[in-house]
Structure 1
Amino acid sequence: MTKKIFINLPVRDLAASTRFYEAVGFAKNTQFSNEDASAMEWSGAISVMLLSHHFYSTFTRKAIIDARTTSGALLCLTFDDKEAVDAIHRAARDAGGEEPRPIKDQGFMYGGAFEDPDGHTWETVWMDTAAMADAAG
C-alpha cells in the first residue's frame, strides 16, 4: 500500500476554505467530502481534510486553536522549481491568503510561507540538491 499523509485542519467557513485550497492547486475529492468536511488532495501522497469546527471537535477533547494568533504546526510543501513556488504564492495571495514570510532566494533554497483563511501556515520550498551536495562536499 502506498504511504499517504492526511492532515486534518479545523476551519471556520468550510466553503471559503475549500475555494482557497482549490485556488492554490488542491483538488477536492467529493467521495470523502460532505457538509462537514472537504477532502483536498495535493499529489497522490498528501490529503488535507478541512473540517468544520463542530466536526473537528468530535475527534479531540482539546480546544481548537485560533491559527491566526497561535501556531500549532508549520506544514511544508516542496516544489520542482522556483516558478512553481512563485505560482502557489501568487495563487494564495489572489485567493485571499496572507504571506507572513515572503519568498526568499538563498541560492540553493528558495521559498517562503503563506497562510490560509484560518491562519494555518504552509511553508514552500524548492531546493537545488546538486548545489547542496557541492556545498557539503
Structure 2
Amino acid sequence: MKTKHKDGYEWVSLAILAKEQGKSPVHLKLWYTYAEENERLDELPQCRRDFDKVTTRYLRVDQLDKLDTFGASLKRGELSQIGKKVYGDRTEYHREWYQEKKANEKPYKSNNMYINLPVKDLNRTKKFFSSIGFEFNSQFSDENSACMVINDNTFVQLLVEPYFQTFINKPVADVASAAGKIIALSADSRKHVDELADKALSAGGKQSKEPTDHGFMYVRSFEDLNGHLWEIAYMDMGTMTQE
C-alpha cells in the first residue's frame, strides 16, 4: 500500500516518497535531522516514527508541500555539515575500502600469448625465420598460415595478407613505410644476441637500428622480409641491480 491511514490522516512512507521524487531516503532523513538540530520541525510535514516500524518514518500527505519549501531553503553546505555529524566523515573509510578492494583483485595474467602477423610470401617468411633458428608447429599451420614457436607459451601466427584481412575490418598496414609495433625477444647472452641478429641479416633481413648498449641491456634490431620490426635483447639483471 502506498499510503496508510491513521487518526483521520493519510500518511506516506519516506522511502516511497523519496523514490517518487528521485531522491535518496538518506537525503530526506538529513532534512529532518537538520530541522531537529535547528528547531525548524514546524516547517516540515508532520512525521511519525511509530506507525508500523520504529525505524520507518511516515509523513502527512496533506502537508507535503512544506517538504519542498523547506528543501529549497537549505544550502548545500548546511546539509554537508549535518551529514558529517550524523554519518561521520566517510572519506577515509572509502579510501581504505578502495585500497583493500584493489589489493584483493587478482590481475589478469594470460597463460599463453598469440601474435598474428600478415606476410606477403608465407614460404619465404618461414624460410627466413627457420634460418634464424625458429621452429613451426605443423598442427596449426596450413597453406594460409604458419605457427612459429617462440617458447612454450608464446607463438607468432604468420598469415598471408588475404587471409589476415578476413580477421580485421581495416586495411592491412603497409609496414614497409610505417611502423606500428616492435616485437622484442630475449636472448641468453650478448653473444647470443649477435648470433640471432646476424642470422636474420644473413637471411635477408635489414638492420633497422644501430645496436644499443645500456650496460645492463644489449639490443640488436632488424626488419624482417615483410617489414615487421624485431628486437633481440639480453638483460644482465645482476648489473642492473648494482646500478
Band of TM-score, shorter chain:
over 0.9
Quote how far apart the aligned CAs of 1:104 are: 2.5
Residue 98 of structure 1, CA deviation: 0.6
210, 215, 222: which is aligned to 1:107? 215
In the other structure, the counterpart of 1:43 is: 151
Instruction: Determine which structure has the larger strand proportion and give its number.
Output: 1
TM-score, normalisation: structure 1: 0.93
2:135 corresponds to 1:31 = no
1:45 Cα deviation after fit = 1.9
RCO comparison, higher one (Cα < 8 Å, 6+): 1
Q: For 1:125-136, what aligned pairs fall within 5 Å after superposition? A: 125-135=233-243
Q: Which of residues 77, 94, 113 in structure 2 aligns to 1:5?
A: 113
1:68-106 deviations in Å (ceiling 9; x for gaps) = 111111110011111110111111011100111132322
Tell me how far apart the structure 2 counterparts of residues 108 and 64 of structure 1 sit (CA, whole Å).
37
Deviating above 3 A after TM superposition, structure 1's stretches of 4 or more consecutive aligned residues are none
Larger Rg: 2
Q: What is the rounded CA distance, in whole Å, between the counterparts of 1:73 and 1:35 in structure 2?
A: 25
Which residue pairs with 1:94 in the alignment?
A: 202
Instruction: Quote how far apart the aligned CAs of 1:37 are.
Output: 0.3
For the 8 Å contact 2:194–2:220, the answer to whether it is kept is no
> Unaligned 5+ residue runs, structure 1?
none
What CA RMSD, in Å, does the superposition of the two structures yield over aligned residues? Answer: 1.2
* 1:31-72 CA-partner distances (Å, limit 9, x unpaired): 111010011101212111110011101100111011111111
Structure 2 unaligned segments of length 5 or more: list them. Answer: 1-109
Q: Which amino acid aligns with 2:196?
A: I
Q: Secondary structure at the match of 1:3?
A: coil
Q: Say which structure is richer in helix.
A: 2
